[in-house]
Structure 1
Amino acid sequence: MGFFGKLFGSDETTPARKLNHPSQLNVGDMISLDDSFALPPQLRGQQLRVEAVNTYEFEREHSPEWVLKGKLGDTLFMGLDEDDEVWLSFSLKLHRADVEALFDMDAFAEIFEEPGKAELAPLPIENETAQFEQWLGKQYYQTGFAQFGYFHKKDYRNGKPSQYMENNPGEPFESYELLDSQESHAIEIEVYEGGDTDVMLTLYRPLSDIREYWPGE
């Protein structure tokens, strides 16, 4: 920039960020989802804002989690599941009363027993559980047992979290997972120190379910 540009300012503006993949989302960005009836009401046609980006750390990998919120008020969690191709994973956290309404608790308790081969079917849907119907598979099979990890309330996409106490290792937890035969629905459970337990229903969807991206200010 020349002298007069510095003196009077420049007409140049910083180009807006271009978003075309969920891995690029930061706090304040927004997405809009497909209005397909294949999606549950909490997702269908919704505009969701990124409220936070967290990190899950395991022994050989770490991955981001996007915390999303929309006009319906539900807090949703999004991740990326990478296998032969990349899929979106949307998760909804359950209250204890919801878990008790959706599953037989004796069968649910088998998830935490060795050798970690539990099978679980949801109870019949009632009025009070109708909101979860599209989040549920018909029959689940356990695929993960007591996998140790750390949860970080920090975005480590451009770095690597540390497991050393003096460098803020995050919150340690054990992970349990069940998957349905279609590999489209999962139950994910995190047990933290002191016994605090998070239970999430997870739905795997194609990247094309995100119809539009809007960068935040």
Structure 2
Amino acid sequence: MSVSQDFAEKRVFSGRLGEVVHVPQPDGRVFERFRRPPGVRMVIVADGKLLLTEELREETGGTDLRLPGGKVFDDYESFAEARSAGGMTEAAEEAVVREGREEVGLAITHPELITVARAGATVEWDLYYFLVREFTEEPEGAQPEEGEHITPVWMSPEDVVSAIQEGRMSEWRSVGVLLGLVFPQQFPGVRA
């Protein structure tokens, strides 16, 4: 028995990138959830290093180190259509290829899904994490969207750990995926 089968959700707000839904509970309470399209993050590995980006981020008030990535869909309607049809992993994989070209100037082939990090119960915003080992450089380089200030930077795993400890990487789901999944599997000698 799932909540969505027994208690129909009701959309109470819809914006360009998300919606708020209410789900009535058996005891009369209402469970409220914010839902937005998923994003992708790439763990790009070559020659014992990881490719991160230094990005000017409004929400951090400065520069932040991040795993390259972006949105899977540019609007909520496209997400809603794909959500009802299934195949979210395939859409995320297509986004990895697009974002690799745009953000870091790489033609990515054969990305491997590592995990899907969920935001929580009241916020539905999944991040799909992919391991990328196969790529070539795009001749025209990175093509970030207007307003994006992104600088790709190759870092050793030890330097990534130092950056995390110094607070230079603020997307904590990415920190958790790196320290909890990627480093133990890809760089077992690196300790946080």
Using structure 2 for the length normalisation, give the TM-score.
0.25
Using structure 1 for the length normalisation, give the TM-score.
0.23
Whichever of the two has the greater Rg, that structure is: 1
